[in-house]
Chain A
Amino acid sequence: MLSIKDLHAEVDGKTILKGLSLEINAGEVHAIMGPNGSGKSTLGHVLSGRPGYEITGGSVEFMGKDIFEMETEERAHLGLFLAFQYPVEIPGVSNMEFLKAAVDAVRESRDEEAFDTVSFMRKAREACTAVDLDQAFLKRGVNEGFSGGEKKRNELMQMMLLEPKLCILDETDSGLDIDALQVVANGVNTMRAEDRAFLLVTHYQRLLDYIKPDFVHVLADGRIVKSGDKTLALELEEKGYGWLEDEVA
């Protein structure tokens, strides 16, 4: 599904990714861990095509297509979803309005018929319930005045409605209490499917107590320095990132 080969990328002229390679197949859950500044969040933004993130080498194929020539929304149409670490507030644009527009756009790109308003609203309400968000949030501006946890759950709700192929969760666990973390994890777990993959970007292994990954990768200085199964995450938690850096060096 996703094939990253020797990816190099710069942000503001500073090289962040220095030869990252990663293969993700449908149905898999991957976790990328790493210390602050290792390039974890950069990867998500490079994949989704954030302006200012420049590819300087390597290739990325998603769903069999080279995505670097594609606009951000085209990548989204293909099924790439990024749950932001810091979701942006858009005052004045209601959540419902925003969701309907996004879902319509994605469905249109797949030549699927748009939902009629009534059935869409029903789906949206269901999604709200699934992420334990009051339905009043549908009427509020996108992320406007939401708490940190509410923003994260709002991201998850969008993910459910857009039904993407690859879900990248960028530090979705940060700032969440245990209850909220479980809500997020449940949401992800119910979405796991044979034709869908997940890439969890996280600093701590606690998220992985609730979402069991098939693979764990350690990112350091812009490259994946070690891969393994979920025991790697526990090892990291115990020994800290310093251990790995020493080992790699």
Chain B
Amino acid sequence: MSQEQIDKAIAKDYAAGFTTDIESDTLPPGLTEDTIRFISAKKNEPEWLLEWRLEAFRVWLEMEVPEWAHVHYPEINFQEISYYSQPKSMEDRPQSLDEIDPELLATYEKLGIPLHEQEVLAGVAVDVVFDSVSVATTFREKLAEAGVLFCSISEAVHAYPDLVRKYLGSVVPRKDNFYAALNSAVFSDGSFVYIPKGVRCPMELSTYFRINEANTGQFERTLIVADEGSHVSYLEGCTAPMRDENQLHAAVVELVAMDDAEIKYSTVQNWYPGDAEGKGGIYNFVTKRGLAHTNAKISWTQVETGSAVTWKYPSCILRGDNSVGEFYSVALTNNMQQADTGTKMIHLGKNTRSTIISKGISAGKSSNAYRGLVRVGPAAKGARNYTQCDSLLIGDKCAAHTFPYIESKNPTGIVEHEATTSKVSDDQLYLCQQRGLDPEKAVSMIVNGFCKEVFKELPMEFAVEAGKLLEVSLEGSVG
């Protein structure tokens, strides 16, 4: 690919970069026990949860920022971040979509999430997290008929305290890592899902996250519990407006799949990546983990095109016999973006199986690393893992890395890892062009082909969106 083509690749725009003018009720920057008490009080939380948060905060104070990832960024001053932001007009909760601030709705329109339309057409129930407060939950009633609980986590704390108390932090303990501890202390809101025994959730559940307020870190907390024999597919989409300064995003997602249950969690992440010089953008430090009991299955699918720095390893703890973990990932980095992402598959039960398919695409001056751990425990008789990670390089200033850790303590386990690195070749581009495709379309086709194995795992609506997103991210990537 020529220099000129590469330069154009770097000149992409961020389509979702706009801000919404809504008065917010934002906490001034800073983090002390008082901040946590404020957040907890604001949400009218029970005493146990405040204690839980404070304990996490005390643990966090003792912890050090992790430095092992292959990413570089200036030190974050956690006292300069505001830990709570709530759209002001939300003080009185709207009872239906009609009551929602029209400007807010317009924002979603721009993002391509027409709530009204979705209601009718897509049959997707959306729990929208706008900055930190859950704005509206659609389809609640229909879900309620099936016995499915789907609401914001702050609501769940009041409505289903036993469930929340039982499972919150059960998969990602508070002291798991630096950012998980921080999230546990200050989490603002997020989604809660409970699927009762034997229920197949009648529709795809969906949440869109959006960071709107300047200087607000977003700390959502998601908890999904699929009871015995149930089934749920959950979609998460993320965007953030353009800002010069970096914004911190440290979420925690916990999945619990009881015996014979199945959870499919799909993410399309398109946070603002910063400009071509690497100014601004989101720091995306996320802990996602699922616990699979006997015969359960947890499947993570992610398409990551945004954020300035990504640090994310959706993982599966395969505790129950015959449980299954899957990780399908496409991570695209451009300009100055840095991604260190992958998964952990912890095989504890007998005959547990896991599959990892990771596709990394680096363009511009970006750096894209796969980091994965496959651990076969001593009791994981007959465990099986297959890992394939491929990297595609576009241009000669980017970097691609592969760091797979394989730890096996059981001889009957079989672990296979394969990795390749290649580039979009001039010959491939030329062939496509000779057949009348413009180079951009050609690159996007080649990249889509490269990612096909992952895209086919996405729910239909998301697959289309993901394909488009890649196209936008690669816009102008060649002359």
Contact = CB atoms under 8 A, between A and B. Distances in A.
The answer to whether A and B touch in the complex, with CB atoms under 8 Å apart, is: yes
Given A51-B426, A97-B445, A141-B449, A88 B438 contact: no
B445 A101 contact: yes
A84 B448 CA distance: 24
A81 B431 CA distance: 11
A158 interface: yes
A90 B433 contact: no
B427 to A, nearest CB: 5
Contacts of A211: none
A20 interface: no
Contact of A90 (B434, B439, B449): B449
A206 B426 CA distance: 33
B437 interface: yes
B224 to A, nearest CB: 32
B431 A76 contact: no
B435 interface: yes
A156 B439 CA distance: 22
Contacts of B52: none
Interface centre among B435, B437, B451 (most CB of A within 10 A): B435
Contacts of B449: 90-94, 97, 141
Interface stretch (A8-16, A102-110, A121-129, A197-205): A102-110
Interface string B450-461: 111000000000
B441 A50 contact: no
Given A101-B445, A105-B441, A88 B428 contact: yes
B430 A50 contact: yes
Main secondary structure of the interface of A (DSSP, over half): mixed
B436 interface: yes
Given A51-B2, A51-B430, A88-B431, A105 B437 contact: yes
Interface residues of A, number: 31
B27 interface: no
A82 interface: yes
A52 B433 CA distance: 15
Contacts of A72: 430, 433-434
A162 interface: yes
B430 A93 contact: no
B373 interface: no
Given A73-B439, A93-B448, A88 B433 contact: no
Given A93-B445, A101-B441, A73 B452 contact: no
Contacts of B428: 88, 90
A75 to B, nearest CB: 8
B446 interface: yes
A48 interface: yes
Nearest to B433: A72
Contacts of B446: 90, 92-93
A76 B431 CA distance: 11
B431 A73 contact: no
29 contacts: A48-B434, A52-B426, A71-B433, A71-B439, A72-B430, A72-B434, A73-B433, A73-B437, A73-B438, A73-B439, A76-B434, A76-B435, A76-B436, A82-B434, A88-B431, A90-B446, A91-B449, A92-B452, A97-B449, A98-B435, A98-B445, A101-B441, A101-B445, A102-B432, A102-B435, A105-B436, A105-B441, A109-B436, A142-B431
Interface of B: 2, 425-428, 430-439, 441, 445-446, 448-452
Given A71-B439, A76-B435, A105-B438, 19 more contacts: A51-B2, A72-B433, A73-B434, A73-B436, A73-B438, A76-B433, A76-B434, A81-B434, A88-B430, A88-B431, A90-B449, A92-B451, A92-B452, A93-B448, A94-B449, A98-B432, A105-B436, A142-B431, A162-B436
Pairs of residues from A and B, 4 with the lowest C-beta to C-beta distance, nearest first: A92-B449, A93-B449, A76-B436, A72-B433
Interface of A: 48-52, 71-73, 76-77, 81-82, 84, 87-88, 90-94, 97-98, 101-102, 105-106, 109, 141-142, 158, 162
